[in-house]
Chains A and B, each alone.
Chain A
Amino acid sequence: MSSLAATLSDSVVITKRNLIKVKRVPDLIVFATLSPIMFVLLFRYVFGGAIGGLPPGVSYAEFLLPGIFAQTIVLGSTTTGASIAEDLQKGLIDRFRSLPMARSAVLVGRTVADLGLNAISIVVMGLTGLVVGWRINSSVGEAVTGFLVLLLFAYAVSWLMALVGLLVRTPEVVNNASFIVIFPLTFVANTFVPLESFPSVLRTFAEWNPVSAVVQAARDLFGNTSPLAPVPDAWSLQHPVLYTLIWVVLILAVFVPLSVRGYGRAAGR
């Protein structure tokens, strides 16, 4: 077997193993679908009226859904870190490291399985969105690209979380640590409110925040923008797909090698 084929085959074995866990612990899938539904309903109906800043005539459901997609799947990526930490704690990483398998396979298998979970939650959110008034106003090709950009960004974040899991080693701590980072990133952005409502320093941060670009890319690709609510002039938001892809490449280029190296040195217990 060539080394690439071997790496792929090992990664498939690990992905399968991770998906079996999803099958055996139905709670995982229930929460992966229930919490997005809850987010959609909560923001649409509880905050929907209160969150201002949108000019009259702009559908809040259409504005909101891409933001919820982004926030939910970025949060979904944090499970990568917690799962890796759990495997470390239970000694499974030791077992894997004693096998003649590809070094990257455990991390590839983990991030790919989490990508699958994220894909499920995005489908559930989309369907819920359609029920509460969200619409896709673009071509099928654009819509598919929109979902792909969202998932790709989440996939990159998974690799960052993998390193966090390897370094922090305790699933609960990984969760808490990642919320501290993920919440500001997803809230100081155009996720739920237009950027005009931000004070100026936060506004600059929000304009260049990759999460804003992901959200803007999704809005553009789903046709959820409105001439009544113009997009800020920042380059990042004028070219959101390109800017998002730059971030994806950057995150992967830094965190794939760091995580694989961290895995090679990780010691359970």
Chain B
Amino acid sequence: MYAKEKTGGELSVGGPSVRGMTNAIVVERLVKRFGATTALDGVDLTVAEGSVLGLLGPNGAGKTTVVRVLATLLVADGGRVEVAGLDVGRHADQVRAAIGLTGQYAAVDEYLTGFENLEMVGRLYRLGKRESRKRAGELLERFDLIDAANRPAKTYSGGMRRRLDIAASLINRPRVLFLDEPTTGLDPRSRLAMWEFIAELADGGTTILLTTQYLEEADRLADRMVVIDRGRVIARGTSDELKAQVGGQRLEFTVTDAAVLPRMVERLRPLGVDDPVVDEQARRLSLPVSGGAEVLAEALRLLDGDTSRIFDVGLRRPDLDDVFLALTGRAAEEVASDDDTTAEPAMTGGAR
């Protein structure tokens, strides 16, 4: 009912519409300033009930600021923000009762044990003593913290604190969950476990807005993604849509001697759908192509057996890292040429 296709200045990709579904999160023309810094400059996004949105962007893009506004911790300077059908400015307490927040830095009380931390948060969600204790026990179990349940959180490793922090945000079985870089600082095994858990929550119908630096994470967990940079949305869509936007597949050759590259370029040019890119330093040739494995066979035929200097060859699809670099790189250039007086936004206070 809140769904509305927004068209900002960004590269918009159509994608499956959420029209007709309820949106658990609606953000329209959100502006947030910190003194002279405009951290958010008209952000629009919606998250359909029960879906997962990945919010991506380089350091200082404004991801944490979006999350903090949505979680009622910051008051917006402009725009409309609704969570669970409620305006966050006017109904902050009702919003708080419906959400769970895991901030970018773990917020656990070091002097309390894991159990006491969770019980306290449960009590503050007004779950009652019995229910708070029950939920605390369940979540400690779920997050593999049972053995450490009765130790002060001071003695926890970074990963354990992170898990305890996420457990705290789930005490209330929130309808809408905000996760600001939930797996930063986790080892690969814990990260996989966390991914499984987030996917489980999403399957259970929780609406999740997740920020991350790991594109693989967004690729795995998010139904849709929004890429922001310098407080503006620069792209949105599903993972496939974003990849398609950056380009199709490429034929890539790595050779043992850069001297053979010009000759290879000559021979392969007819196969390309666009200009080849040669990186002499990396001894690599990259050629945009269309088609499947037959292109590879055709390429090898064109090289006419002259393959002794080829070290590696393959057909590559762009991954989200390519998308990310292409999008944020381009955005940075545009801003620089638009307005030469705008320096890199200063990183004040945001990170520690």
Contacts and interface: CB of A to CB of B under 8 A. Distances in A.
B72 interface: yes
Interface string A76-120: 000000000000001110111111110001000000000000000
A249 interface: no
A25 B111 contact: yes
A88 B257 CA distance: 58
A99 B121 contact: yes
A253 interface: no
A92 B93 contact: no
B99 A98 contact: yes
Interface residues of B, number: 32
Contacts of A96: 124
A143 B110 CA distance: 39
Contacts of A98: 71-73, 96, 99, 101
B74 interface: yes
> Which label, helix, strand, loop or mixed, suits the secondary structure of the B interface?
loop
A56 to B, nearest CB: 52
Contacts of A21: 109, 111-112
A13 B124 contact: yes
Contact of A101 (B105, B124, B152): B124
Contact of A6 (B71, B99, B107, B126): B126
A1 interface: yes
Contacts of A268: 107
Nearest to B99: A98
Contacts of A100: 93-94, 96-97, 124-126
B152 A24 contact: yes
17 contacts: A17-B120, A21-B111, A25-B111, A90-B107, A91-B103, A91-B105, A94-B103, A94-B107, A95-B101, A96-B124, A98-B73, A98-B96, A100-B96, A100-B97, A100-B125, A269-B105, A269-B350
Given A98-B101, A269-B352, 20 more contacts: A6-B126, A13-B120, A13-B123, A17-B109, A17-B112, A21-B109, A24-B111, A24-B152, A90-B109, A92-B108, A95-B103, A99-B121, A99-B125, A100-B96, A100-B97, A100-B124, A100-B126, A101-B125, A105-B124, A268-B107
Interface of A: 1, 6, 9-10, 13, 16-17, 20-21, 24-25, 90-92, 94-101, 105, 267-269
